[in-house]
Amino acid sequence: MNNMRSRLLSVFLIVLLTGCKGRNSQGALQDWPVYRGDDGVNAYSRLTQVNRENVSNLQVAWIYRSGDYRENSTIETNPLIIDGILYGVTPGLNVFALNAETGEQLWMFRPSMDEGEQGGVLRGLTWWADGDDKRIFTCFSYRLIALDATTGEQIMSFGAGGYVDLRKGLRDDDEIESYVVDNTSPGVVYEDLLILGSRVSETYHGMPGHIRAYDVRTGKIRWMFNTIPRPGEPGYDTWPAENYKTAGGCNAWAGFSIDRARGIVFASTGSPQFDFHGGDRVGANLFANSIIALDAATGKYIWHFQVSHHDLWDYDLPSPPNLVTVKRDGKEVDAVAQITKQGWIFVLDRETGQPLFPVEERPVPASKMPDEVASATQPFPLLPPPLVRQRFDTCLITDISPDSRQYILKEIANYSYGELYLPPDTNGIIQLPGTRGGGEWSGAAFDPETGRLFVGVNDIANVVQLVKLEQEDPSEILRMPVLLAGAKVYREHCSACHGENREGHDAYPSLQDLAGRINELQARHIVDRGGNKMPSFAHLPEAYREAVIAFLFDLNDKTLTTKKTGAVRSHQGRNKYRIKGYTQLKDHLGYYGVKPPWGTLNAVDLNSGEIVWKRPLGEYPELTEKGIPETGTQLFGGGIVTAGGLIFIGASRDEKFRAIDKDTGKTLWEYQLPAGGYATPATYEVGGKQFVVIAAGGGGYQATKSGDYYIAFALADSRAD
C-alpha cells in the first residue's frame, strides 16, 4: 500500500513539474498563456477536438459583452486563457477576467473613471507568476500597470503610486507633460523582467522608441536598448551626428518574440520620424525598420537586419518576427520569419541574422525633393515571392465597372507612379502597397507540422502627397481671431487624418457636426490624451489645443491661454512637411482603385519558399450579387492554426468568422458576427471541451459598426475521453 502511494505521489510530482515547466515556456496544452499563443508568436495550437471533420457543428458556447463601446471604437485583443480563466480588454481599455467555460465575469479593472479618457487599442496582456504572486500587466495611456490576477486589484507597490510612467527616461523629463508615449502591444516576460515597447508620435520632434526591460515586481528599469543609437553605440553613424538628441520613432510597437533556451528577445521596429520625408535624418537610420536580436537578460545587442533603409513610406515592421524551424539541406534550422508591409517574408537564421534565402540590394528611384537623400538601394528577398503587387500602372486599375475605371484614371492623372520605393513628393505619388498594404499588426500563424506560414495581407494602394509646413510661432496663434487660429492648427496637425474639410475617411471619423456627438470637455480629453486610433497631442502648446477645440465647436468668444507651455519647436534649418492625408486610392463608390483581390489569405512553405495557396478573404455582398467574383476586403485581425487542420480567422470587413482548411484554403464553416472580428482569436480547452474565442469589436480601420463582444464557440456536448 505504501509503495502504491509512493508511486502515485511520484507520478503526481512528475505531472506537476512537467506542467510547471510547460507553463513557464509555452504554456500547458489546454491554455493560451501569452500573446498569440506561444513565445514564438506563432498562433498555433496542438488541440484537435475541433477538426476538419466536425467543425461544421461548431456552435456559440457563450457571449460576453462589456457595455463600453462607442462610435468607431474597436477591440484588437488576443485574450489570454490560463487555468480556466480568460483575461481580456474591452473597447474602453478596461481589463476583465472571465470563467473561460461559461463566460461569467469574475472581475473588472477600470484604469480610469474619467469619461473623456476611455477608449483606445490594446492588443494583448502579459502574465507573470511566482508562486501565489500572479500578475497581469496592462497599459493605459502612458501608464504601465500591474494587476493581481486573482482579484483584478491594482498592485500599488508597482512603480510610483501603482504605475510606471512610460514617458520617463526617454529624453528631458522636465518636458514630460508634452511627450506622446503609450503602448498598444503587450510585452514579454523573461525571468523577472518585463520587456516592453511603445507607440510614439509619428511627426517631427517625437519621442524615441527605445526598448526597455522593467523589474516585474517593482517596475524599475533594469535595462534599455537605444533604437536611435547614441555616440559610441552600433548604428550611430547611420544618422547625422546630433540627431539622437531630437530624432524619434524606431519603436518596437508591435511586440516581441522570445527564444528562452537561447535567452534572446526579438523585436521588429517602426519607421523613423517623420514617416514620409527624411531631409533632417540623412542616412540609413538604424535601428528603424529592423529586426533586432537582443540578450534578454541584459539588452545587449546581438544582431540586426534592416528591411528598409531610410524609410520614406511608413513601412514599419508590423508584427513581431515568428520563431520557426525550417529545413535546409536535410537539416532543421531555427529561424525568424518577418512579414512586412511590402508583402515580403524575410527568413533569417535565428542566431546570426543571416538570410536563409538570397536577398539582393537593388537600385531604387532617387527622390525629387531638393532636400531629400533617399537610399540608393533597398533589400529585395528572392524567396518567398511577394504576397502583394509592388508596382502600380494603369494595367492594375480596378475593373469592377467601367465607371470605376474611368474615375480612377482621372484620379491618378496628376500623380507619379511606377516602381516600389518611389519617394513621395509635393506633386503626389501612388504608393503600392500602401501604408495599410501587405502584412499588418495581426501577424502570421506558423504550422510546425507542415512548415507553412499563414498570413493575411492587404493589396491596396495609397495616394501620398507632401505639403510643406509653415514656420510655426506660438505667439502668432494668440494674435489671430480664435476661429482662424483653430483652422490653422487643424490644417497643420489634424487634416491628414480627418480630411481638409473635416469630412473624415476610412478609420478616421468625420469631425463635422461634432457637437451633436460629444461635448467640448470630452473632445479636449481626446486631444490631450488620445483615444481609439488617435494619439495624444499634449506636445502642442495649450493655446493650440484650445484653438482647435474652438474651431471644431464654433466658439467665437473663446479666450486662449497666453502661457507658453509645450511650445512648438522651431522648424528652422530644414524644410518640414506633412502629408495631405492618409488617403487610400478609391473609386466614386468607395471601392479600392486597383483590381481585386484586395485582401488575401496566403499559405507559404518556409522550407521551399513557395506560395502553396492564395485565396481572397472577405466579400462585398452587393458586388457578389452583381456577379463579381469574391474580391477580398481590407483585413485587420490575424488567424490561428491548429493541429486539427484548421485556420480560424475573422479580419474581413464582411464581419464573418471563418474556419478554413489549412491544406486547401477552403472555407469549412463560417459565422456572421454581430460586429467585425478585427482581432486574433484564441483556442483553449476547459473541462475536456475545446473552445475558440474571438473579440468582435468592429469599428477601427474598417469603419464598420462598433461592438463590445467576446464570443466563444464549441462543439455541442464535446468532451475529451
- CB burial of 39-70 (b: ≥16 within 10 Å; e: otherwise) equals bbbbbbbebebbbbeebeebeebbebbbebbb
pLDDT of residue 554: 87
pLDDT band at 557 (very low <50, low <70, confident <90, very high): confident
Report the alpha-carbon distance of residue 691 to residue 31 in Å, rounded.
Answer: 10
- Please indicate whether residue 618 or residue 500 has the higher confidence score (pLDDT): 618
Residue with cell 522608441: 209
How many CB atoms within 10 Å of residue 140?
24
Report the alpha-carbon distance of residue 211 to residue 195 in Å, rounded.
Answer: 7
pLDDT of residue 266: 99
* Interacting residues of 183 by C-beta distance below 8 A, sequence separation 6+: 122, 139, 144, 166, 196, 197, 198, 199, 253
Q: What is the mean pLDDT of residues 557-569?
A: 64
- What is the tens place of the pLDDT at every residue in 47-106? 999 999 999 999 999 999 999 999 889 999 999 999 999 999 999 999 999 999 999 999
Q: What is the mean pLDDT of residues 581-593?
A: 95
Dihedral class, residue 430 (left if φ above 0, else alpha if ψ from -120 to 50, else beta): beta
Report the alpha-carbon distance of residue 376 to residue 200 in Å, rounded.
Answer: 28
pLDDT of residue 268: 98
Report the alpha-carbon distance of residue 109 to residue 379 in Å, rounded.
Answer: 46
* pLDDT above 70: residue 12: no
pLDDT band at 472 (very low <50, low <70, confident <90, very high): low
Domain 188-313 has CATH 2.60.40.10: no
Question: How far apart, in Å, are the Cα atoms of 50 and each of 32, 304, 309, 716?
Answer: 16, 40, 44, 11
- Please indicate whether residue 364 or residue 539 has the higher confidence score (pLDDT): 364
Does the pTM of the predicted model rise above 0.85? Answer: yes
- What is the tens place of the pLDDT at every residue in 484-509? 888 888 888 888 788 888 887 766 77
Question: How far apart, in Å, are the Cα atoms of 249 and each of 199, 244, 258?
Answer: 8, 11, 22
Q: Decide: 433 and 459 in contact? Cβ < 8 Å.
A: yes
Least confident of 117-121, 138-142, 256-260: 117-121
pLDDT band at 515 (very low <50, low <70, confident <90, very high): confident
Q: Decide: 114 and 524 in contact? Cβ < 8 Å.
A: no
pLDDT band at 570 (very low <50, low <70, confident <90, very high): very low
Report the alpha-carbon distance of residue 388 to residue 420 in Å, rounded.
Answer: 11
Report, in this order, helix, strand and coil percent for the chain, each rounded to 5.
15, 30, 55
Query: In the numeric block, which cell numbers belong to residue 92?
Result: 474602453
- Within the chain, which residue ranges are assigned CATH 1.10.760.10? 470-570
Helices H / strands E in the chain, number of each: 8, 41
Query: In the numeric block, which cell numbers belong to residue 282?
Result: 540623412
Q: Residue 342's closest CA among 453, 434, 250, 416?
A: 434
Report the DSSP pairing between strands 256-259 and 221-225: unpaired
What is the share, in percent, of the chain residues with pLDDT greater than 70? 92
pLDDT of residue 486: 83
* pLDDT above 60: residue 373: yes
Q: Which CATH superfamily is domain 470-570 in?
A: Cytochrome c-like domain (1.10.760.10)
pLDDT of residue 2: 42
pLDDT of residue 26: 41
pLDDT band at 19 (very low <50, low <70, confident <90, very high): very low
pLDDT of residue 533: 64
Q: Residue 38's closest CA among 124, 96, 122?
A: 124
- Within the chain, which residue ranges are assigned CATH 2.40.10.480? 188-313
* pLDDT above 90: residue 172: no
